Copies of this chain bind each other. A is one copy, B any other.
């Protein structure tokens, strides 16, 4: 997410996996809107396989699953967020919101005071080794 002059990426770790992050949060929101993993994947320009693997990783990382598929075969296909899925998404968004306090610091003001609006043009050639 963008916070002032900062780009900030927040990931929740679970062993060697990531339980939650910006991409997974967007996928949860898309599933809530679209009502299925495949429609959510399409909406995000993501393959079904990729979306399914992300959902699987999330479900394995949390004590209760975040996404529940309707039992297949019947008229009601698709997937929805569980109560836990909605709670996790809300908490992650609140954590992102909370992270804006980083910009209320002397360190942030010092950095933004030293940086240019846009970079100078790229230097044409690499220096000999120094």
Q: Which residues of A contact B (CB under 8 A)?
A: 2, 5-20, 36-38, 48-49, 52-53, 56-57, 60-64, 69-70, 72, 77-79, 84, 87-88, 91-92, 94-95, 97-99, 101-102, 105-108, 110-112, 114-123, 126-130
Complex Cα–Cα for A56 and B38 (A): 43
| Dominant secondary structure of chain A at its interface with chain B | mixed
* Known interface pairs A102-B99, A107-B91, A130-B37; A123-B13 also in contact (CB < 8 Å): no
Q: Are B98 and A102 in contact (CB under 8 A)?
A: yes
Task: Note all chain B residues with C-beta closer than 8 A to A6.
Answer: 10-13
18 further A-B contacts with Cβ under 8 Å, apart from A7-B11, A15-B116, are: A6-B11, A7-B9, A8-B8, A8-B11, A12-B111, A12-B112, A17-B119, A19-B111, A52-B126, A53-B126, A56-B123, A60-B122, A62-B116, A69-B127, A88-B114, A94-B107, A95-B102, A95-B105
Q: How distant is the Cα of A130 from the Cα of B36 in the complex, in angstroms?
A: 6
Which of A2, A52, A78, A117 has the largest number of chain B CB atoms within 10 A?
Answer: A52
